[in-house]
Amino acid sequence: MRELQLSLNQTQKVRLQRALEKLEFLSSKANSNASVTVADSIPVNYEDGLLKGHGTSEFNGEVVATVCGIVERVNKLVYVRALRARYKPEVGDIIVGRVIEVAPKRWRVEINYSHDAVLMLSSMNLPDGIQRRRTALDELNMRSIFEENDVICAEVRGFQHDGLHLQARSQKYGKLGRGQLLTVPSYLVKRRKQHFHNLENYGIDLIIGCNGFIWVGEHVQVTDDMVVDQVNKSEQDDAKPDENSFSPEDQEKNYTRQETRENICRAANAIRVLSTLGFNITVEVITETVDLSTSINVAIHEMLGSEFYVLVAEKESVRRSMTKKK
C-alpha cells in the first residue's frame, strides 16, 4: 500500500491501519508462492531449457530476481512482473488519450506513455462510413473529426518505425464528450476482456483504459457512425453563420441532466479514492464504492473526506476475506 497523505484522527488511523494490514496479509497469502523481492532465488528446472526474461539474472548458478514482483512463467520463459511499473503498450490494448497535435494525415495523442502515440487518418473510419482511399479533402477536414485537446478512445495497433500507432475502426471508438477524464497509475488497471462498461443504474459509461486514463461520462447510444452528427453539425454551422441560437432539439441533445452529472462526479470520486488507497481499478469495485456512498448518504464532496477512505478500506478487506473463504 502506498503512503497515504490523509488528515486522520486517532480512531481513523487505527481502523485504517487494521484494514490495510488485513489486506496486505490476504494479498501476501494469495501470492506467497509467486511473490519475490530483490535477490530472492527463483526455483527453475534447467533440464527444460530455461529462458531468462525481464527482472531475472543469474548469480552463482541460480536465477535470482532483480525487481520486486510476481514470478510469471510462459512455456520456457521465466520473468518477474513488477508490482509498480510504467505503462507498456501491447497490441489490442484499449486506451483513452488526449489529442495534442493535428499533423499531416495523422493525430498525435498523449496516452500516458514515454512517447506520444500516432493515429493515422487511414486508421479510422471516415465520417461518410465508406471504405475508400483518403484524399486531400479528407486531410483538410481532419479538424472536423478530432482537434487539439479532444479526448478519444482507440486501440493499440502496434509499433512501427515512427512510433506507437493506434486505430479506431470500430463504432465504439472515437471522440468522448460530456464527462471527466481521470488519471490513475497504470499498474492499478489490469487487462481484461471488457474495458467498456455501462452502469445502467446511474446512466453513465465507464471506459477503463489500460494506460491509466479512465473516462466517466454520460451514456451514449452507439450509432452506425459516431462522427456523423459532429460533422453534420459543423457543416450546418458553416452554412448558417448568422444563426447564433440553437434549436430546442439541439439544446435538448446537448443537455446533460443534473442527476447524471452528479452520478458522473460520484463515480469519479470513487475512482480517486480507490487510486489513493492503491486498490486495483475494476468496474465491480467502482460500483461497490458508489453504492456504498449512496447507501450511507454521503455527499459527493464528502467522498474525498478521511472517514469515507476508512470505510472503503474496511469494506474492501471484508470483500476480499469473503472471496477467500469461497
What's domain 86-176's superfamily in CATH? Nucleic acid-binding proteins (2.40.50.140)
Q: Per-residue pLDDT for 29 more than 80?
A: no
**Could you state, in order of their start, the residue ranges of all structural domains in the chain?**
1-27+179-221+258-326, 39-85, 86-176
The C-alpha cell 493535428 sits at 102
pTM for the structure as a whole? 0.81
- pLDDT of 180-237, one tens digit each? 999 999 989 988 999 999 999 999 999 999 999 999 999 887 654 444 344 444 444 4
Which H or E element spans position 196? Answer: strand 196-199
- pLDDT of 252-273, one tens digit each? 567 788 999 999 999 999 999 9
Tallying the residues shown for the chain, one arrives at: 326
CATH topology identical between 39-85 and 86-176: yes
Q: Per-residue pLDDT for 90 more than 60?
A: yes
**Half-sphere exposure (CA, 13 Å, Cβ side) for 236?**
12
Q: Per-residue pLDDT for 243 more than 60?
A: no
Which H or E element spans position 108? Answer: strand 106-110
CATH annotation of 39-85? 2.40.50.100
Q: Per-residue pLDDT for 75 more than 90?
A: no
